[in-house]
């Protein structure tokens, strides 16, 4: 039995939009084991991305606690949370969010600029990450010179280059065709099985969710259903 | 330094926009370098002479002559070491563009008051004995290729000769230099033999434009000046005596307060640049809000993001300053050689002023976009809110 890596207790999140308070997550409890590959599904507005943001330390709950690998991240200051994210979480977005002015290798190097690694060590780590995603030959290309699938691979390389325990993926295949999406999902699966990354993936796509070990469904800020592969 | 590459890449993300902005900055700092050099040239002329000498002029205006009888009265004032007199000649050599200053002076008195000029005894003697003679500064001699014995015709804009002719011809009796590099660089004027000039001029005989007084003790400049002016108080030829530096400043102010004009022009230029660069920076940050959010997502702190944006602003302003000042320095070297003007390409202080201006400008244009970058919320920015 794997240990619990992510533990959410009584997590609620509400936003104020146009002077109206909107409850996005409602007293949610969730345990995610280390090495899990979890797909979060649900209709738009169900709170999937909000939950992902809380797990990734991008946002903080209105009430409740988010404990990740023993760290209660809801109590961290902005700067400490930033440092925590840099060490523990890799992010993959639907639209890749690469820096258009940087080459693939410089994009992948970005998280390492926050470390004390030497330039040579950074270069080595970048080369390994690009090799893992199968893009060593595209290291010097800028994002506009890459296909969507390749861009997402670069984004994944950027997410894993600092060797975080957790990968947070928000609709990682939402902008890709079926074939490319399957390649990306297989890559995520490899990272989960071969490299032990704990992956939490938000998706609308049931086929994408099938790649995960566990599927969770959210509706109106509550967990409604769980399925195991 | 690790982030320099990223800052540089971000700066040139829109090359045309950045280059145009850089061009505006270069133009502004080019103007800054050129105008400050002009302003410095004017004030340096005043600063250079210091306060070791006094100049006495007519109280009403320095264009009004003073009677020569005042010379001995001034000489008798305690604290006065030597007195010389000079009269502006206002001559043109071949072409009005060949402008240089000419003063009619007494050969012996000139060197008693201005020991900084160097001339051989032999040449001094020639200057004394040849009536229609002149001595020329080494820079001037170099410019026009004059040598001792040459005849130099000057068309006076003020003084006709006895027969109504305005063309005067002087023999070059000597070529004087300065006691050091500074004085040497200023040896670009001509002194005419006053005896001959006074004898030959049609009007104004027995008068001098100004008196120059060398002081025994520079600390007593104001008391000596007051003593001189008090002698001629309530006479038909009241005087105004001031240090040579103040006199020069007053002279230059006849054509306007150069320093003030330069400051007004530069203020207008930099205010416009502030708007141009400010707009560029604001636009640049606005269009990459999602990228900044991603950087924060990856672990860059609010402060790091703020500093990156400010660094971009400083980098473009500093680049503009260095290139603009570089161009200004090159142009000034060419201009000072071809125009024989004391336009220095700018000392370390001027370069530091330019960099300080660039820094102030970068803070002014960068602070709002940088603050916006610092305070942006990751989830809102990623969601495009």
What's the pLDDT tens digit per position in B251-300? 666 656 667 778 888 888 888 888 988 998 999 899 889 999 999 999 99
The answer to whether the Cβ–Cβ distance between B291 and A113 falls below 8 Å is: no
pLDDT band at A225 (very low <50, low <70, confident <90, very high): low
Please report whether residue B184 resides in a domain: yes
- For residue B285, CA distances in Å to B19, B23, B232, B279 come to 17, 20, 70, 10
Of B291, B301, B379, the CB nearest to A82: B301
Residues B282, B277: Cα–Cα separation, whole Å? 9
pLDDT of residue B50: 58
B16 shares its domain with B112: no
Query: Is residue A106 less than 8 Å (CB to CB) from chain B?
Result: yes
- Does the structure show a pLDDT above 70 at A64? yes
Pair (B167, B264) in one structural domain: no
Q: Which residues lie closer than 8 Å to B249 by C-beta, 6 or more apart? A: B43, B46
Interhelix angle B258-286/B289-298, nearest 10 degrees? 70
Q: Are residues B125 and B196 in the same domain?
A: yes
Same domain, B341 and B297: yes
Interface test with A, best of B297, B303, B373 (most A CBs within 10 A): B297
To 10 degrees, the CA torsion angle through B166, B170, B176, B178?
0
pLDDT at B344 over 70: no
Q: What is the pLDDT of residue B43?
A: 64
Q: Tell me if chain A has a CB within 8 Å of the CB of B290.
A: yes
Q: Are residues B152 and B178 in the same domain?
A: yes
For the record, the structure tokens of B204 come out as 């104004």
pLDDT for A58:
93
Element housing B54 (H / E): strand B53-58
What pLDDT, on a 0 to 100 scale, did the predictor assign at position B51? 63
What is the reported pLDDT for A13? 93
pLDDT level of residue A104 (50, 70, 90 thresholds): very high
d(CA B385, CA B383): 6
pLDDT score of B192 more than 60: yes
User: Looking at residue B243, what is its pLDDT?
Assistant: 86
Q: List, in sequence order, every residue forming a beta bridge with A227; answer none if it has no partner.
A: A215
On whether any CB of chain A is under 8 Å from the CB of B4, the answer is no
Average pLDDT in the B300-329 region?
93
Cα–Cα–Cα angle for B313, B318, B322, rounded to 5 degrees: 155
**Does residue A107 belong to the interface with chain B, where contact is any CB pair within 8 Å?**
no
Domains of chain A: total: 1
Higher pLDDT, B219 or B82: B82
More confident residue, B37 or B157: B157
Phi, psi of A87 (to 5 degrees): -85, -35
Of B297, B300, B302, the CB nearest to A91: B297
Does the residue B252 lie in any domain?
A: no
The answer to whether residues B220 and B360 belong to one domain is no
Q: Is this prediction's ipTM beyond 0.85? A: yes
Residues of A in contact with B379 (CB under 8 A): 53, 58-59
What is the tally of structural domains in chain B?
2
Answer whether A97 sits within 8 Å of B291, measured CB to CB.
Answer: yes
Average pLDDT over residues B47-67: 80
Q: Say yes or no: B12 and B92 in one domain.
A: no
Is B251 among the domain residues? no
Q: State pLDDT tens for residues A120-147.
A: 999 999 999 999 999 999 999 999 999 9
Assess if residue A133 is contained within a domain.
yes
Instruction: Look at residue B310 and tell me whether its pLDDT is greater than 90.
Output: yes
Partner B contacted by A18 (CB < 8 A) = no
* pLDDT value of position B130: 93
Tell me, yes or no, whether B246 lies in a domain.
no
Check which CATH number belongs to the domain holding A43 and give it: 3.40.50.300
Please indicate, yes or no, whether residues B71 and B180 belong to a single structural domain of this protein.
yes
> Does B127 score more than 90 pLDDT?
yes
- Taking Cα atoms as reference points, which of B79, B1, B8, B10 lies closest to residue B295? B10
* Residue A163 domain boundaries: 35-60+77-228
Please give the share of chain B, as a percent, with pLDDT higher than 90. 57
- State pLDDT tens for residues A176-214: 899 999 999 999 999 999 999 999 999 999 999 999 999
pLDDT of residue A186: 94
Q: Tell me the percentage of chain A whose pLDDT exceeds 90.
A: 82
**Is residue B278 assigned to a domain?**
yes
Residue at A202 is within a domain = yes
| B282 SS3 class | helix
User: Has residue A50 got a pLDDT over 80?
Assistant: yes
Domain co-membership, B87 together with B156: yes
pTM for the full predicted model: 0.71
Residue A119 lies in a domain: yes
- Please indicate, yes or no, if residue B230 is contained in any of the structural domains: yes
Asked whether residue B45 carries a pLDDT value surpassing 90, the answer given is: no
Backbone conformation region of residue A96, classed left if phi is above 0, alpha if psi is from -120 to 50, else beta:
left
Question: Which token pair is B232?
Answer: 């001629």
Shortest CA gap A113–chain B (Å):
6
Residue A51 lies in a domain: yes
Q: Is the pLDDT of residue B347 over 80?
A: no
- For residue B242, being part of any structural domain is answered with no
Could you tell me if A149 and A180 are in contact, meaning their C-beta atoms sit under 8 angstroms apart? yes
Could you tell me the pLDDT band of residue B114, with boundaries at 50, 70 and 90? very high
pLDDT of residue B48 exceeding 60: no
Grouping H, G, I as helix, E, B as strand and the rest as coil, residue B188 is: coil
Same domain, B213 and B67: yes
- Is residue B244 situated within a structural domain? no
Q: Is A90 within the bounds of a domain?
A: yes
Do residues B144 and B204 both lie within one domain?
yes
- The verdict on B203 and B65 lying in the same domain is yes
Judge whether B251 and B55 are in contact, CB under 8 Å. Answer: no
Retrieve residue B120's tokens.
């051989």
Domain of B275, in residue numbers: 4-45+257-382
């Amino acid at each position: 039995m794997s240990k619990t890596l992510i533990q959410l207790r009584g997590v609620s999140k509400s936003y104020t939009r146009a002077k109206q308070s909107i409850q996005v997550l409602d007293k949610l409890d969730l345990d995610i084991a280390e090495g899990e590959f979890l797909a979060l599904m649900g209709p738009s507005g169900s709170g999937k991305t909000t939950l992902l943001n809380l797990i990734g330390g991008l946002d903080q709950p209105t009430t409740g606690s988010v404990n990740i690998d023993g760290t209660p991240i809801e109590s961290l200051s902005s700067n400490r949370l930033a440092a925590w994210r840099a060490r523990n979480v890799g992010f993959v977005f639907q639209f890749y969010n690469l820096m258009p002015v940087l080459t693939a290798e410089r994009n992948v190097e970005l998280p390492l600029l926050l470390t004390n690694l030497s330039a040579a060590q950074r270069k080595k780590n970048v080369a390994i990450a690009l090799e893992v995603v199968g893009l060593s030959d595209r290291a010097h290309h800028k994002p506009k010179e890459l296909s969507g699938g390749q861009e997402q691979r670069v984004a994944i390389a950027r997410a894993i280059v600092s060797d975080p325990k957790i990968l947070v993926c928000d609709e990682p295949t939402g902008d890709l065709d079926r074939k490319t999406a399957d390649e990306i999902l297989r890559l995520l699966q490899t990272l989960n099985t071969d490299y032990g990354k704990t992956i939490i993936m938000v998706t609308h796509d049931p086929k994408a969710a099938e790649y995960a070990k566990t599927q969770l469904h959210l509706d109106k800020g509550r967990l409604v259903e769980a399925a195991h592969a | 330094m690790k982030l320099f590459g990223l800052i540089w890449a971000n700066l040139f993300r829109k090359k045309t926009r950045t280059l145009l902005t850089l061009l505006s900055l270069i133009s502004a700092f080019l103007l800054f370098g050129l105008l400050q050099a002009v302003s410095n040239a004017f004030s340096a002329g005043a600063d250079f002479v210091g306060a070791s000498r006094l100049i006495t002029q007519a109280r009403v205006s320095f264009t009004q002559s003073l009677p020569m009888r005042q010379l001995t009265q001034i000489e008798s004032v305690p604290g006065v070491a030597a007195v010389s007199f000079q009269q502006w000649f206002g001559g043109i050599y071949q072409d009005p563009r060949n402008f240089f200053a000419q003063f009619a002076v007494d050969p012996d008195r000139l060197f008693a008051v201005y020991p900084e000029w160097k001339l051989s005894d032999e040449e001094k003697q020639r200057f004394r004995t040849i009536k229609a003679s002149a001595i020329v500064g080494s820079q001037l001699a170099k410019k026009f290729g004059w040598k001792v014995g040459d005849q130099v015709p000057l068309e006076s804009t003020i003084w006709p000769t006895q027969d109504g002719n305005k063309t005067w011809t002087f023999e070059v009796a000597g070529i004087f230099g300065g006691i050091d590099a500074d004085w040497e660089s200023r040896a670009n004027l001509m002194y005419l033999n006053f005896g001959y000039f006074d004898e030959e001029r049609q009007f104004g005989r027995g008068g001098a434009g100004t008196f120059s007084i060398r002081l025994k003790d520079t600390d007593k400049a104001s008391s000596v000046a007051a003593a001189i002016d008090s002698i001629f108080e309530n006479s038909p030829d009241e005087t105004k005596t001031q240090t040579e530096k103040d006199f020069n400043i007053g002279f230059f102010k006849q054509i306007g307060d150069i320093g003030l004009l330069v400051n007004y022009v530069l203020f207008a230029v930099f205010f416009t640049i502030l708007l141009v660069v400010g707009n560029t920076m604001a636009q640049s940050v606005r269009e990459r809000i999602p990228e900044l959010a991603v950087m924060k997502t990856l672990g860059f702190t609010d402060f790091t993001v703020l500093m990156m944006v400010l660094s971009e602003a400083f980098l473009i302003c500093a680049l503009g300053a260095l290139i603009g000042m570089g161009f200004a320095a090159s142009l000034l070297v060419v201009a000072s050689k071809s125009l024989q003007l004391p336009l220095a390409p700018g000392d370390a202080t001027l370069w530091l002023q330019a960099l300080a201006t660039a820094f102030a400008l970068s803070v002014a244009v960068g602070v709002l976009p940088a603050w916006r970058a610092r305070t942006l919320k990751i989830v809102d920015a990623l969601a495009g809110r």
